[in-house]
Amino acid sequence: MNKLILLITLLYATVCGIAQRDVEEGDPVFNSAYKKFLNKDYTGSYLEYTNYLTRKPDDPVATYNRGLCAYELKDYKDGITNFTKSITLGRIKQDVYYSRGLCHYQLKKFTTAIADFDTSLTLKPDYRAYTYKGASLNELKKYTEALAILDLAADADPTYENAYYHRAITKYNLKDYEGSVADCNKSLARKTYYDTYFWRGLNYINLARYKEAVADYDTVLIHDPKYATAYYNRGLAYFELKNYEKALSDNTKAIELDPSKAVAYYNRALVKYELNKYKEAEPDFNAAIDLKLNESKHYKWRGINYYYEDKFVQALSDLNSSIQKDNTDETAYYYRALCKFISEDDAGAIEDCTSALTIKKNYDVYYQRGLSRYLIKNYEGALEDFNEALNLKPGYKSAILERGITYYVLEKDALALTDLNKAIELAPKNGRAFYYRGKLKKFMNDLAGCCADLKQAKLLGNEAADNELSKNGCK
């Protein structure tokens, strides 16, 4: 079953290492502002620095420190204004460029942030600037470049958890899931943040370590019980563990918290499909597609769900859309073949089965093509397909029966009898098998056996058996 992993880029919830500089012990207003900052009274500190700057408007240090207050108050634009003015006033230091870079980073202006981090690193190499340059490159999806920079960050300070955290994200996106887990572990060994558990959980899902993924998302949700994406991802892990009830609950919770989360509707639909709740799954498939999930697989699975609801026209339409978007999915061709078979388009069913088999050999597809070839009286072709199905799946009950019937039509009586005997042994309540064995025994001059099998076929509900009993004088 296809799955969607929803990942989001998290701004790591740590102090990024910016701090005030150059305290001026001789000025009480400046000192008061400085102390308020240290006590995390950022609003009070900002107001004190503003008061100070009314008297000394060209002080680059106070301007820089006010920028730090703005950063902590999440007013990043004002932070940039203050840091830029501090530079204009002559503060050409590593920390001011680094701090302005952080503001650009928080405003998602990653290219501009990188320029500031580069200037900061030119003035003084520092593990924090390396880290957030790497984080910015991650956001720009330049993962190979990011990895090189974050390696420098980790080497510069092996105790800095943020470097490992951001490198873990880089490695995840480079599909180095084991390496990403290792970096998550290094980050967690230094400080435990729920963001790191979130990413480690994603890695565990990709490594098929689903129980560990569930444990990590349990941790995330203890910290933030309203984290819709964490519920969604834990639902993915439960789905793979075949714990469908918990997967259903988690996707439902994700939707309650974020009704616009299209992938949660889609995955909840897949869960309901696995639970054979096709009518309940249909509205969720519809919601996912209405919310602009329109890849091939979304139409494919809704189409398959329609098939099991006996809505063959809708199924055919969705499977057509799926194949138009991706003509390399054998499952879509197979289910479209089933729809065409039901609508008595045997030529179309054969064509779709052939397309599916070109992509991947599958016993069900061979069997289905064999049925359609039989119906258009291509008995040799049908026989070939039933043989292929049985080569891939020895003991395939339906294929044994249909091959036996095909042998019967081709007058290969001994082979037909062997298959029909086996079919009855495997499925002793199959009236069709008794019916054809009864007809076969007539041609093998076993009238008693013929009548016995036809009577059994009738008992098992085969309607054609009654007429054969009369024709053969069976009492």
Mean pLDDT of 158-179: 97
pLDDT at 27 (0 to 100): 86
The mean pLDDT of 373-377, rounded to a whole number, is 97
- For 120-145, the DSSP string reads HHHHS--HHHHHHHHHHHHHTT-HHH
pLDDT at 329 over 80: yes
* Structural domain contains residue 190: no
Do residues 37 and 46 touch, judged by C-beta distance below 8 A? Answer: no
Asked if residue 90 is part of any domain, the answer here is no
| Domain count within the chain | 1
Does 383 fall in a domain?
A: no
Domain membership flag for residue 53: no
- pLDDT of residue 2 exceeding 80, the answer is no
pLDDT digits (tens, 9 = 90+) for 405-461: 999 999 999 999 999 999 999 999 999 999 999 999 999 999 999 999 999 999 999
DSSP code of residue 16: -
Q: Is residue 58 part of a domain?
A: no
In percent, the amount of the chain with pLDDT more than 70 equals: 95
Q: Residue 13 has what pLDDT? A: 35
Q: Is the pLDDT of residue 216 over 90?
A: yes
Task: Give the confidence band of 19 by pLDDT, cuts at 50, 70, 90.
Answer: low
Which domain CATH number covers 411? 1.25.40.10
Among candidates 360, 361, 367, which has minimal Cα distance to 338?
367
Average pLDDT for 236-265: 98
CA distances from residue 390 to 316, 357, 383, 406, 419 in whole angstroms, order as listed: 28, 15, 11, 14, 12
Confidence of residue 3 (pLDDT cuts 50, 70, 90): very low
Range of the domain at 411: 395-475
Res. 474 pLDDT band, cuts 50 70 90 = confident
Mean pLDDT computed over 331-348: 97
**The model's pTM:** 0.86
Q: Is the residue at 469 inside a domain?
A: yes
Computed over every residue of the chain, the mean pLDDT equals 94
Q: Do residues 313 and 301 lie in contact, with contact meaning Cβ atoms separated by under 8 Å?
A: no
- 419 in a structural domain: yes
Structural domain includes residue 138: no
